[in-house]
Amino acid sequence: MAKEIYPCLLLFNDLHVGKENIPEFVANWNEALCICERLGITEIALGGDLFLSRAAQTLDILLAVHDVLLATAKKGIRVTIANGNHDKVAPESERGYCHIFDQHRNVVVANDYVSLPIGDGQHALLHLIPYFPEDGSFTEKLQTVKTQALDSTKLNFLYLHEGINGALSQPSEKELPANLFEGFDKVFVAHYHNRCVIPETNVEYIGSSRQHNFGEDEMKGYTVLYNDGSTEFIQNKINLRYKVIDVDADQVDIHLTDLLDEMKADGHYRTKVRVHTTSVRASSIPKEKLLHAGASKVEIITEETEAADVSASSLFEKFDTHKIRETYEEFCREKEIAEVELGLSYLSKIDSVCGN
């Protein structure tokens, strides 16, 4: 008789609830609950960055999380949470903001790691490790899982919140080497928001649970684990999507405005149109028409603009505290980042001139 295959665990991460996005967070979480109910899933694993601000959480934010966890308990769904880097004040601490909720009867918050059975646990396990600095104690925590929690008779999956070399086009020296995770059958990773598989490895970034700005792609949502170790990606459909449309000046026509009008009517999109043209033609681009048709933002990109951008960030320019803050705020505006206070709080500590 063939083994019954059924969904067991829902994975999602990088919800980044903050004071400006509580309704979006609640919709995101409720969609996850609807998926669990539809598929008969009674276990959620949250892979970090439940919160946005590392500095502090307002009462509204804490109550929003409190309420969704209560709603989850009423549906008979358990939640296992691993703190992400945004969920901690001190990166090396085992405890973070998520520990505030570890007394909810349906919630477990990982200190160093937690191992969950996938389904009845006969075939596979999921090991969760919270965020610890890549250049700090993370490798020690990983070694603890390898020596204490792996079961050689089963599939061993890992779910973590770290930067791993090979996921981004521009690697960082701080990132972990992918070969560190040999011995696991599959590694699911949060932290970077776009989905990708690191080539020639078993490491997969499963993407954030929803888009947060124009700099992210639309493939956001939830990962379902089945009892046989197979997986399924379910795309987020409830939250607002951010879409960038790049066109040449000759393509600013009725077809573009019709597309913008359709997306506006859909109600699920914020759209940025980038028109590539020359400085001579730039003034003739009908920005107001595009905005009226439904574009949230229109940018005119010329060769001269690109050259000016390069010049503005010249290596020979001296940046004082004011200039750094100004540049950071402009970056946040371009990327549609709503929460800028945390970055500014760190920048306010800079009192010297950079670029000497």
Q: Are residues 212 and 352 in the same domain?
A: no
Provide the pLDDT for residue 303.
76
Tokens for 120, please give them: 């009845």
Provide the pLDDT for residue 237.
95
pLDDT tens track for 239-275: 999 999 999 999 999 999 999 999 989 888 899 999 9
Angle subtended at Cα 203 by Cα 149 and Cα 230, rounded to the nearest 5 degrees: 75
In the predicted model, what is the mean pLDDT of residues 39-52? 98
C-alpha span between 356 and 337 (Å, rounded)? 30
Q: Are residues 324 and 254 in the same domain?
A: no
Nearest to 45 by CA among 151, 138, 116, 131: 116
Say if 2 falls within a structural domain: no
In the predicted model, what is the mean pLDDT of residues 211-217? 93
Q: Are residues 123 and 25 in the same domain?
A: yes
Q: Are strands 203-205 and 196-197 parallel, antiparallel or unpaired?
A: antiparallel
Task: Flag whether pLDDT at 313 surpasses 50.
Answer: no
In sequence order, the 6+-apart residues with CB closer than 8 A to the CB of 161 are 13, 47, 48, 49, 82, 83, 84, 85, 129, 130, 131, 189, 190, 191
Say if 208 falls within a structural domain: yes
Q: Are residues 228 and 89 in the same domain?
A: yes
Cβ–Cβ under 8 Å, residues 134 and 161? no
Higher pLDDT pick, 22 / 314: 22
Task: Flag whether pLDDT at 346 surpasses 80.
Answer: no
CA 51 from centroid of its chain's CA atoms: 11
pLDDT tens track for 56-110: 999 999 999 999 999 999 999 999 999 999 999 999 999 999 999 999 999 999 9
Provide the pLDDT for residue 312.
43
Q: Are residues 148 and 211 in the same domain?
A: yes
Nearest to 248 by CA among 281, 215, 297, 288: 281
Q: Are residues 160 and 268 in the same domain?
A: no
Say if 63 falls within a structural domain: yes
Say if 94 falls within a structural domain: yes
Domains in the chain, number: 3
Buried-exposed string 254-279: b where 16+ CB fall within 10 A, e elsewhere = eebbebbeebbeeeebbbbbebbbee
Domain residues for the domain of 261 are 240-312
Tallying the residues shown for the chain, one arrives at: 356
Say if 184 falls within a structural domain: yes
Q: Are residues 194 and 49 in the same domain?
A: yes
Q: Pick the last residue of a domain from 185, 212, 235.
A: 235
Q: Are residues 206 and 257 in the same domain?
A: no
Output the domain CATH number for residue 263: 3.40.50.620
Q: Are residues 203 and 318 in the same domain?
A: no
Sign for the CA dihedral angle at 233, 112, 65, 37 comes to: positive
**What is the SS3 assignment for 202?**
coil
In the predicted model, what is the mean pLDDT of residues 148-168? 96
Q: What are the angstrom distances between the C-alpha of 42 and each of 35, 110, 269, 352?
A: 10, 18, 31, 53
- Looking at the chain, the whole-number percentage of residues with pLDDT higher than 90 is 77
Output the domain CATH number for residue 121: 3.60.21.10
Q: Are residues 174 and 96 in the same domain?
A: yes
Residue with token string 């960082």: 172
Q: Pick the last residue of a domain from 185, 207, 235.
A: 235
Tokens for 286, please give them: 């009908």
Provide the pLDDT for residue 1.
40
Say if 1 falls within a structural domain: no
Say if 352 falls within a structural domain: yes
Provide the pLDDT for residue 261.
93
Residue with token string 């829902």: 10
Q: Are residues 339 and 208 in the same domain?
A: no
Q: Are residues 337 and 260 in the same domain?
A: no
